[in-house]
Copies of this chain bind each other. A is one copy, B any other.
Amino acid sequence: MNTKTKRKTDPALAHARREQVLAAAADCFKRRGYHGAGMAEISRTAGMSAGHIYNYFASKEAIIESIIERDMEEMFSIFQEFEDQPGDLVTILLDGLDHGVERHTDINQGALDLEMLAEAARNEKVALLLRESDKLAREKMRSLLIGERSPLKLASMAEIDSRIEVMFAVMSGLLLRKTLNPSINKAGLLVALRPAMKTLLTPFESLEPLN
Residues of A within 8 A of B (CB): 30-33, 35-36, 111, 114-115, 117-122, 127, 130-131, 134-135, 138, 158-159, 161-163, 165-177, 179-182, 184, 188-196, 198-200, 204, 207-208, 211
* Count of identical protomers in the assembly: 4
Cβ A158 vs Cβ B118 within 8 A: no
Which residues of chain B come closer than 8 Å to A33, judged between CB atoms? 118-119, 121-122
Contact of A135 among B131, B179, B181 (CB under 8 A): B181
For residue A188, give the distance in angstroms from its CB to the closest CB of chain B: 5
Determine the residue in chain B with the shortest Cβ distance to A131: B180
Cβ A179 vs Cβ B117 within 8 A: yes
Cβ A174 vs Cβ B179 within 8 A: no
